[in-house]
Structure 1
Amino acid sequence: MIRAVVFDLDGTLIDSAPDICRAANQVLEGEGLPLITFEQTRGFVGRGARVFVERMELAVAGANDPLRTAHLHARFLHFYERAHEATQIYPHVVEVLERLRGQGLQLGLCTNKPLRPTRAVLAHLGWDTLFDAVIGGDSLPVAKPDPAPLLAVLERMGLGLPEIAYIGDSETDAETAQRAQARFGLYTEGYRKAAPETLYHQFRFSDYRELPELLHG
């Protein structure tokens, strides 16, 4: 019996790529480096801020230099915490989250976005108290696709794997769920690059209004 739903954030509940792109280009412009495109941004998202910066740096500079990477990462986090003005909630997410809450389900959040930018965007959206447990990409020594962050959310909610469904949009989320052996629902309108049928999942959906029925199917 499902007692909780755990969600990824970027590309799953919200489309934050425009703000991530803007934050990245603010950094690059300040360093006199070439800018990245919106499509590049979407392709770099998924493994956390550090990996995003490494991918960005490689694309614009042709190589990763440890000192430069660390500097770019610090600058990116500075802008990232304030980058939420263009972020949009995906259609029907709000009504569905309220419906799940009304059914007595707990809600968890397991994201590779660092915790401070996560808290900032949740506050911006009025979601400060929506989730019973929140784990960010820097909450633990490891990040997704290691299953530890997902398991940490469950531990904080006092639940086991058979009692939850995990919802995400990407290869990283699918691998996380597979390694944890969690029930996984793939939201197909996010930042995934591979064909949906090639990814681990128990169900997939493109419209959030389908989710409540799928959870209990």
Structure 2
Amino acid sequence: MNRAIIFDLDGTLIDSAPDIHAAANAVLSGEDLPLVTFEQSRSFVGRGARIFVERMERAVTGRNTPTLTDHLHTRFLHFYERAHENTRIYPGVVEVLEGLRSDGYALGLCTNKPMGPTRAVLAHLGWERLFSVVIGGDSLPVAKPDPAPLMAVIEGLGLTLPQITYIGDSETDAATAERAGARFGLFTEGYRHTAPEDMYHQFRFDDYRHLPTHLKDPAA
């Protein structure tokens, strides 16, 4: 039986896309650059803040210039750490997390969101002590889909791969789990672009009320 559940954050436990979009356009507006649409911004999410900014810059200028990218990245992090107003927890998440802890599961967090914004949003949600181990997109020299961040969470929990399930929403999460050889549950209501059936997973769900059943099913 699994002893820990490790979650991605954006698009998995919380819908932060509106605030990320607002942060992106606050940066662009301050630089007198064209703004991005919500759908553009949402499509940039998943590989960490630096790649988000690279994609954003390329969308509005047609290229990436290292000096400008560095500047936009710094400005984006400034707004990103304060972007909580429109972030929402997905339905059923709070009840499921509380239930998992009551059932004796340890909880871990493995996100490509930088640690500054991660800690800020966890504090905003009152989740500072919910996760035993938190690894962000800048905690290690590499980020997901490299499996190292996921393995670091597992090691921090004092467990091994067969003792965990990883829950995520995106192609990046699926690739991370596949490279690590981890059991993966795909939340289908997040930020993915690929059809669920074409993504690596052992089970998938669109309602958090169904997650505990999947976790207890060894065939899933």
TM over 0.5: yes
1:38-53 map, 5 Å:
38-53=38-53
Gaps of 5+ in 1: none
Deviation at 1:189, TM superposition (A): 0.1
Partner Cα separation in structure 1 for residue 150 and residue 202 of structure 2: 17
- Aligned position for 2:133: 133
- Aligned position for 1:197: 197
1:101-116 map, 5 Å:
101-116=101-116
Partner Cα separation in structure 2 for residue 155 and residue 41 of structure 1: 33
Deviation at 1:41, TM superposition (A): 1.1
Matching residue's letter, 1:25: N
1:202-217 map, 5 Å:
202-217=202-217
Query: Structure 1 stretches (4+) deviating beyond 4 angstroms?
Result: none
Structure 1 residues 119-162: Cα deviation after superposition (integer angstroms, max 9, x where no partner): 00000000000000000000000000000000000011000000
Deviation at 1:211, TM superposition (A): 0.3
- Aligned position for 1:81: 81
Partner Cα separation in structure 2 for residue 43 and residue 189 of structure 1: 14
Partner Cα separation in structure 1 for residue 107 and residue 37 of structure 2: 34
RMSD: 0.3
SS at match of 1:100: helix
Structure 1 residues 157-190: Cα deviation after superposition (integer angstroms, max 9, x where no partner): 0000000000000000000000000000000000
Partner Cα separation in structure 2 for residue 40 and residue 185 of structure 1: 26
The TM-score normalised by the length of structure 1 is: 1.00
SS at match of 1:6: strand
Partner Cα separation in structure 2 for residue 116 and residue 155 of structure 1: 22
SS at match of 1:167: strand
The TM-score normalised by the length of structure 2 is: 0.98
SS at match of 1:113: coil
SS at match of 1:57: helix
Structure 1 residues 49-78: Cα deviation after superposition (integer angstroms, max 9, x where no partner): 000000000000000000000000000000
Gaps of 5+ in 2: none
Deviation at 1:91, TM superposition (A): 0.2
SS at match of 2:166: strand
Deviation at 1:39, TM superposition (A): 0.5
Deviation at 1:15, TM superposition (A): 0.1
Deviation at 1:110, TM superposition (A): 0.1
Partner Cα separation in structure 1 for residue 158 and residue 38 of structure 2: 39
- Aligned position for 2:186: 186
- Percent identity over the alignment is 75
User: 2:142 aligned with 1:145, yes or no?
Assistant: no
Partner Cα separation in structure 1 for residue 157 and residue 212 of structure 2: 20
Matching residue's letter, 2:145: P
Structure 1 residues 65-121: Cα deviation after superposition (integer angstroms, max 9, x where no partner): 000000000000000000011100000000000000000000000000000100000
Deviation at 1:20, TM superposition (A): 0.3
Partner Cα separation in structure 1 for residue 216 and residue 145 of structure 2: 25
